[in-house]
Structure 1
């Protein structure tokens, strides 16, 4: 499925607004990690350069 830049931006905006509305304090850590990862995925869909450079910012699992 192919979506427009505007549709992807709207999904990203909604995901951020939803997370902000729920608040971070009450979310279990696993849920928070999952939600933030989903937001990063949306960001990467908007800007492929971020997806390419993201590996520089991750740490390998021990």
Structure 2
């Protein structure tokens, strides 16, 4: 039996907008916007499996 450990980087702090603007945008706007949309859609279609965000899919 093999074990695999997967570590995920947390979202970049919005305080880093000056030095890491692209990363902050990806973490807080692109990724979370899709998650929020999926949550809203899940109220209308509770048993639906939604695609992972682009950021999460890139880690799979």
TM-score clears 0.5: no
Q: TM-score w.r.t. structure 1 length?
A: 0.42
Q: Decide which structure has the larger Cα Rg and report it.
A: 2
Q: TM-score w.r.t. structure 2 length?
A: 0.43
Q: Which has the higher contact order (CA 8 A, sep 6+)?
A: 1
**Which is helix-richer, 1 or 2?**
1
